[in-house]
Structure 1
Amino acid sequence: MCEPNQTQVTQIKLLGFQGLYKFKIPLFIAFLLTYLMIISGNVLIILLVTTVDQLKIPMYFFLKYLATSDVLLTTSVVPMTLDIILKDEGRLSLDVCITQLYFFCICSYLQCFLIATMSYDRYLAICNPLRYTSLMNSHVCFQVIIGLCFFVTILVSSEMIVIYRYDYCGLNYIDHFFCDFFPLVELSSSDTSGLKLQDFIIAIITICLPFAFIIMTYICIVVAILKISSVHGRRKAFSTCSSHVTLVGAFYGALIIVYMTPSDEGSSHLNKYRSLLYVVVSPLINPIIYSLRNREIKAALQKSLNRF
């Protein structure tokens, strides 16, 4: 409960990009164009994987859901950010703020597991090709997606229930362009130590463990490839992983830049700008990686264009 001299917070004010509002129009145009590119690029991948028969394999099945997650993640943030840029600040209810964080976390955590699952797909294809079709069929892939969505939703819901039950008194502004976890939790007047410990454990489960799994699978992949006697065979095997390796580097590179920095006041302010790396930059470059570095996607796109 709030103290008698404190006001119960029911509305959150997002400060957005203070100091850059003299560049309001260029900033708005840059965000809008980037958002449109993210939507068009990822929707294109979704349509290609759904309609082109040669792409109906496990690797691209998971890529389709990764693209869907990118679309949902940016849509949960960027439209509201555009409104904040135009109005110099954003005002939303506490419930809406928590809801935005809820969907943002689900999409972010799901991406970590999807990228790890894609690495396992490459591991099976290269290290255990004889059992690949039995271990990675369409039925198994669909079950994996359902299981991951359910697991991530349970984890995030456990955090959001705690956040929703906290008291918020006094300050009601966040120096950010969306309701991120730590800026919102810092507003609470309740004891948040338990929630921060819970978030740390969830971060290990959803970020660190998938990344460690990816490293392990690629160690096995590299060892298996080096055993191939043919230079052409090794090159072909490496090429099947190149797009995914680039994706892993871009995605986890953004997370490391944002979260593996000191949490002093200056870095907290900079994290607002670093957050752009995984909110807009990573969803933007994912379809670029798979359209420029992947022969199957380029061939499918060319085939689709030839129909018109």
Structure 2
Amino acid sequence: MASLKELRARINSVKSTKKITSAMKMVAAAKMHRAERRSRQAQPYAQAMLKILVNLKKSLGERPGLPELLVGNGKQDTHLIIPVSSDRGLAGGFNGNINRATRVLVERLLQQGKKVKICPIGFKSYVYFRGEFPELVTGPKGSDHRLGNVTFETAEQIALYIEALLRDQGFDECTVIYNRFKNVMLQVPTELKLIPLQLEVEENKVETLDEKLAVNKPPPSEAQYSFEPDGEEVMRRLLPQNLRVQLFAAMLETNAGEQGARMAAMDSATRNAAKAIDKLSLYYNRTRQANITNELTEVISGANAA
């Protein structure tokens, strides 16, 4: 049985932990609101750029000589995987989910006889894959693989490395894996193929009442676009920018998801600490009462003996 002194020390220790987790929860909440706002502001631009590329691809058709950033090099032998994680822990299963999803993809590709290269963004993924697949880890020269404060310059650094590696035939396909931020409790590991470009536009479409009541509504006609300069030149100029924008959007989503996951984890830790304090306090009071009872019994027994 623990002494009263030990129980008091344990209760004070849990109370200190509770103060820390409560403070971390509030800090994560403030950071999450800023990160979520940045992520939502970047999404319309990223979706609009992808829309333009979809229309350009349709207008150009399947002609030969299209940029490799759009259609790849026609091979599927070497895959470049880019997992995006956070730099710090204390965020529940946030980083573990990304590392697990990436590992499943890497092992599946290796079983198929493919070559794999891993370029982690985020220190947690870098440390994990440096330990699990050290021979597969790559990245820009001089990079510390940290996500940091998420700036467009970081996305541009990674994009320049991808473009240089593509020119040197260092890979055939490139996929980024990141946590898509849904809400505080839900971050979904998502795969986005960057090369060849995944020409799919996801939009949060709100259906109006007129659309719900429409019957036998004719399909919308596809608009015809004219480009100046020609469509292929516009495509060549937009594709490098799109690579940077999609990487930047993935990094912003990851940052928002990290803060949301940390906020939820610290809230759970704070509530668990409160429950532990209640249990320890109850045990402390019962132990103190038992000690008092024993002392009274000894005093009474001594008086009766005398």
Shorter-normalised TM range: under 0.3
Query: What TM-score do you get using the length of structure 2 for normalisation?
Result: 0.26
- Larger helix share, 1 or 2: 1
Structure number with the bigger relative contact order (C-alpha 8 A, sep ≥ 6) is: 2
Query: What TM-score do you get using the length of structure 1 for normalisation?
Result: 0.26
Which structure has the larger Rg?
2
